[in-house]
């Protein structure tokens, strides 16, 4: 892809604004949810628990994955269209924009949540660990951004799968914000539609990435296998590990049998997700090959027309 002139000529300042904008957009569902802080030392829907820009709590780790990692993937996709003419400074500037927004949001959330906790509350440690998780996820987000923007196609395909999993964790806050169940009964049809959208979106996005990757040369099939493994196991492993990592929860040794059983159940039930990704990838690649063949035939036909 040669990219548009606006992307090839993206300045560091524009890259920084791109990163800031992506981070703010990623936070919008949390604003829609009313900036409801995670459960602290009382009922989860306390009125005075609102105001934190990030849900700093290990119990909401998967939500943090969506909020922090997804914008990095989105920026990588935007910059890839102009990767051939970019020096990479715009990408680093975009990463700086992400860092500024999420660092500020983390500090603000700590100042909102920590003063409202009892001194002996285990939630205080949970909140601090949540802040540390934001830093780790920010590094992952920047890495996904760089690989998607400038990495080879197989590596970018795997990074796209990570972004797809993050999208699956981000969508629930957008489509089903906290507190919606307290506002009245939700129609069953709507709940089913929301659930299908949230669960199958990562698989469909990964399938699109697989179709873009293609299967020639054959070594690219390794990227297919890794991307499918990520979209299959990611939604299963992260929530289970989140519950184990909560301070005051069971130890790893005691919790390990439960983790294994939960993973087995989820992987069995989640088998349609990797299958969906593969089907979308195969069908999409066949369509791409058909379109390219017709373009070559059209070009050959035009070249065969005798000139006067």
DSSP 203-228: HHHHHHHHHHH-S-SGGGHHHHHHHH
The model's pTM: 0.82
Domain range for residue 293? 5-304
Alpha carbon of residue 218 to chain centroid: 28
**pLDDT tens-digit profile, the chain (308 residues):** 444 444 546 788 999 999 999 999 999 877 766 565 554 444 443 444 567 888 887 777 888 999 999 999 999 999 886 544 455 788 899 999 999 999 999 999 898 888 877 777 777 778 888 899 999 999 999 999 999 999 999 999 999 999 999 999 898 777 765 555 444 555 677 777 777 777 889 999 999 999 999 998 888 999 999 999 999 888 877 776 666 555 555 555 555 666 666 667 666 777 888 999 999 999 999 999 999 888 888 887 776 655 54
The residues with which 36 forms a beta bridge, in sequence order, are 50
3-state secondary structure of 90: helix
Q: Please enumerate in sequence order all residues whose Cβ is within 8 A of that of 220, keeping only pairs 6 or more positions apart, or say none.
A: 153, 154, 157, 213, 214
Quote the number of domains for the chain: 1
- Residues 41, 45, 50, 52: is their CA dihedral positive or negative? positive
| Closest C-alpha to 67, from 17, 33, 16, 112 | 33
The residues, any chain, with a CB within 8 Å of residue 211's CB and separated by 6 or more, are 280, 281, 282, 283, 284, 285, 287, 288
Cα 234 to Cα 64: distance, rounded to the nearest angstrom = 14
């Amino acid at each position: 892809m040669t990219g548009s002139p606006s992307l090839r000529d993206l300045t560091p300042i524009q890259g920084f604004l791109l990163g800031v904008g992506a981070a703010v957009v990623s936070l919008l569902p949390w604003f829609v949810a009313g900036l409801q802080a995670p459960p602290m030392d009382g009922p989860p829907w306390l009125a005075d628990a609102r105001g934190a820009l990030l849900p700093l709590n290990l119990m909401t780790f998967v939500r943090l994955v969506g909020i922090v990692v997804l914008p990095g993937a989105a920026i990588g996709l935007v910059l890839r269209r102009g990767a051939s003419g970019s020096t990479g400074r715009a990408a680093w500037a975009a990463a700086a924009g992400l860092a500024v927004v999420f660092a500020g949001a983390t500090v603000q959330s700590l100042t909102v949540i920590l003063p409202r906790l009892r001194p002996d509350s285990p939630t205080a440690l949970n909140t601090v660990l949540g802040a540390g998780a934001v830093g780790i996820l920010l590094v992952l987000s920047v890495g996904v951004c760089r690989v998607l923007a400038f990495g080879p196609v197989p590596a970018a395909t795997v990074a796209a799968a990570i972004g797809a999993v993050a999208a699956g964790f981000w969508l629930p806050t957008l489509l089903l914000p906290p507190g919606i169940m307290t506002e009245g009964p939700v129609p069953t049809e709507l709940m089913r539609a929301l659930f299908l959208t949230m669960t199958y979106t990562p698989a469909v996005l990964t399938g699109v990435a697989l179709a873009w990757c293609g299967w020639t040369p054959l070594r690219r099939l390794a990227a297919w296998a890794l991307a499918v493994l990520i979209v299959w196991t990611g939604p299963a492993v992260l929530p289970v590990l989140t519950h184990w990592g909560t301070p005051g929860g069971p130890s790893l040794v005691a919790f390990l049998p439960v983790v294994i059983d939960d993973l087995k159940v989820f992987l069995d039930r989640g088998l349609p997700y990797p299958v969906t990704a593969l089907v979308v990838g195969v069908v999409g690649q066949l369509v791409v090959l058909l379109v390219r063949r017709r373009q070559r035939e059209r070009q050959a036909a035009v070249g065969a027309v005798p000139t006067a």
